[in-house]
């Protein structure tokens, strides 16, 4: 079903006015979508400030029919800004966000810099909006693969605790930014023309290829950073430190929607029909499970929409106890996996 979170049109900020909003990293793949989500969801904005690196300053980006000039990020950028949506990488967030927060701006940060800190809420609005209470002006937006994996899992977890989850991802280029999306297209074009191509953004050839996610591996566990995020963030968002999780994160030659093959084990037996019944009314989730026509979640369909598509809902045949289910899901990495979720968090602040 479509998102049931109320849209904030007409709601106001403290003092009876609309909030002043800043987007940090405005020219990036997620930045552009943040601006788009603010507009399409009718988020009340008194003034929109677009911030980026020196390199991008002076560019203009459209918002509600006007061109807004991108400014270079500086110490005074957040004067008068009520809400700042950050998507400029962990280093920028670590450097700039705490000061902005201290000066009174509420930061919603898309990087992993603060996600696992005890004093920072990590929020998927469909799951744990309540975690926002008592925030200290920094709120973290979860990892995109975690969002796509667990947004549909939460309503199951509430009815029949999910004890174990094994997830393999099929991750799009967009998670590595606009430059990676361009590299996927350029390297594929070169391949088709029989030309050589030297990868610059990603460490491996991407045209008609796939590879283990290009984040560092923890030698102690053998898991890469992306997998460690999915596992740790899921436990934090679910508020369930005991949940047993195994993630394998793989980058596939797809542009902007992640897919996941997910198997989970509940505390008590559960049937595919029960899962469908629960997901039918779940916010932010759409069932795409047309067995007769072999039509299931695909990145192409997930791209551009806010819902996580879920299909291939079936018993896990490797668990005879009847407690385990497998499904295949897809969600737009730039929207629900990043920008949309951040704007939904902002909506909760109004």
Most distant pair of Cα atoms in the chain: their distance: 62
Least separation in angstroms between CB 206 and its own copies? 9
Catalytic residue among 144, 157, 213, 249: 144
- Regarding 212 and contact with its own copies (CB under 8 A), the answer is yes
Instruction: Please tell me whether residue 149 adopts helix, strand or coil conformation.
Output: helix
Residue 5 φ/ψ, nearest 5 degrees? -60, 135
Q: Which of 32, 124, 150, 184 binds its own copies (CB under 8 A)?
A: 184
Q: Which of 15, 16, 194, 219 binds its own copies (CB under 8 A)?
A: 219
Cβ-contact 144, 223 below 8 angstroms = no
The size of the chain, in residues, is 350
Residue 102 and residue 234: Cα distance in Å, rounded? 28
- Regarding 137 and contact with its own copies (CB under 8 A), the answer is no
Binding part of the chain for its own copies, among 5-13, 21-29, 55-63, 217-225 by CB under 8 A, reads: 217-225
Residue 122 φ/ψ, nearest 5 degrees? -120, 110
Residue 22 and residue 73: Cα distance in Å, rounded? 10
- Regarding 165 and contact with its own copies (CB under 8 A), the answer is yes
Q: Is 135 one of the catalytic residues?
A: no
Catalytic residue among 37, 157, 258, 266: 258
Residue in the block written with tokens 């923890």:
218
**Closest listed residue to residue 38, CA positions, set 25, 22, 27, 51:** 22
How many residues of this chain bind its own copies (CB under 8 A)?
60
Residue span 14-53 as binding mask against its own copies, x where in contact by CB under 8 A, dash where not: ----------------------------------------
- Regarding 223 and contact with its own copies (CB under 8 A), the answer is yes
Binding part of the chain for its own copies, among 23-31, 118-126, 130-138, 242-250 by CB under 8 A, reads: 242-250
Task: Please say which residue, 125 or 331, places its beta carbon nearer to its own copies.
Answer: 331
Binding part of the chain for its own copies, among 68-76, 108-116, 164-172, 233-241 by CB under 8 A, reads: 164-172
Least separation in angstroms between CB 110 and its own copies? 23
Other CB atoms within 10 A of residue 157 CB: 22
- Regarding 238 and contact with its own copies (CB under 8 A), the answer is no
Other CB atoms within 10 A of residue 197 CB: 16
> Which residues are CB-neighbours of 291 under 8 A, at least 6 positions away?
none
Binding part of the chain for its own copies, among 7-15, 73-81, 92-100, 198-206 by CB under 8 A, reads: 198-206
Q: How many CA atoms lie within 13 A of 256 on its CB side?
A: 21
- Regarding 194 and contact with its own copies (CB under 8 A), the answer is no
Least separation in angstroms between CB 177 and its own copies? 16
- Regarding 314 and contact with its own copies (CB under 8 A), the answer is yes
Residue 204 φ/ψ, nearest 5 degrees? -135, 160
Cβ-contact 112, 94 below 8 angstroms = no
Residue 144 and residue 30: Cα distance in Å, rounded? 11
- Regarding 211 and contact with its own copies (CB under 8 A), the answer is yes
- Regarding 197 and contact with its own copies (CB under 8 A), the answer is no
Residue in the block written with tokens 């195994």:
246
**Closest listed residue to residue 302, CA positions, set 272, 259, 253, 242:** 259
Q: Is 258 one of the catalytic residues?
A: yes
C-alpha pair distances (Å), 312 with each of 93, 272, 309: 38, 10, 10
Least separation in angstroms between CB 283 and its own copies? 25
Q: Which of 5, 214, 240, 276 binds its own copies (CB under 8 A)?
A: 214
Cβ-contact 172, 257 below 8 angstroms = yes
Task: Please say which residue, 92 or 228, places its beta carbon nearer to its own copies.
Answer: 228
- Regarding 316 and contact with its own copies (CB under 8 A), the answer is yes
Binding site for its own copies (CB under 8 A): 164-166, 168, 170, 184-185, 188-189, 192, 203-205, 208-212, 214-217, 219, 221-224, 231, 244-246, 248, 250, 252-255, 259, 261, 263, 272, 291, 294, 296-300, 311-320, 326, 328
Catalytic residues, which ones? 144, 258
């Amino acid at each position: 079903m479509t998102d049931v979170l109320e849209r904030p049109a007409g709601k106001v900020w403290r003092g009876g006015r609309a909030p002043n909003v800043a987007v940090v990293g405005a020219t990036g793949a997620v930045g552009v979508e943040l601006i788009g989500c603010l507009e399409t969801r009718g988020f009340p904005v008194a003034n929109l400030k677009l911030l980026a690196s020196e390199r991008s300053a002076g560019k203009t980006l459209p918002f509600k029919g006007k061109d807004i000039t991108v400014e270079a990020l500086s110490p005074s950028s957040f004067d008068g800004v009520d809400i700042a949506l950050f998507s400029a990488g962990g280093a920028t967030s670590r450097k700039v966000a705490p000061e902005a927060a201290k000066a009174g701006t509420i930061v919603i940060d898309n990087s992993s810099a603060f996600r696992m800190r005890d004093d920072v809420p990590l929020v998927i609005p469909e799951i744990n909006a309540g975690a926002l209470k008592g925030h200290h002006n920094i709120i973290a937006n979860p990892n995109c693969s975690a969002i796509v994996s667990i947004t549909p899992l939460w309503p199951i977890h509430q009815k029949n605790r999910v004890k174990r989850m094994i997830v393999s991802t099929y991750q799009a280029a967009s998670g590595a930014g606009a430059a990676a999306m361009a590299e996927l297209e350029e390297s594929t074009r070169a391949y088709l023309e029989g030309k050589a191509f030297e990868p610059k953004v990603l460490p491996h050839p991407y045209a008609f290829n796939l590879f283990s996610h290009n984040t560092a591996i923890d030698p102690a566990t053998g898991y890469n950073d992306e997998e460690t995020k999915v596992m740790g963030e899921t436990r934090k968002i679910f508020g369930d430190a005991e949940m047993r999780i195994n993630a394998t994160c793989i980058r596939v030659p797809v542009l902007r929607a992640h897919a996941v093959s997910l198997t989970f084990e509940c505390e008590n037996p559960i049937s595919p029909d029960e899962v469908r019944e629960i997901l039918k009314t779940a916010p932010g989730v759409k069932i795409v499970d047309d067995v007769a026509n072999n039509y299931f979640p695909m990145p192409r369909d997930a791209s551009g929409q806010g819902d996580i598509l879920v299909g291939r809902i079936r018993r896990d045949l490797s668990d005879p106890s009847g407690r385990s289910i497998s499904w295949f899901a897809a969600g737009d990495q730039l929207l629900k996996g990043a920008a949309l979720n951040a704007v939904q968090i902002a909506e909760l602040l109004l």
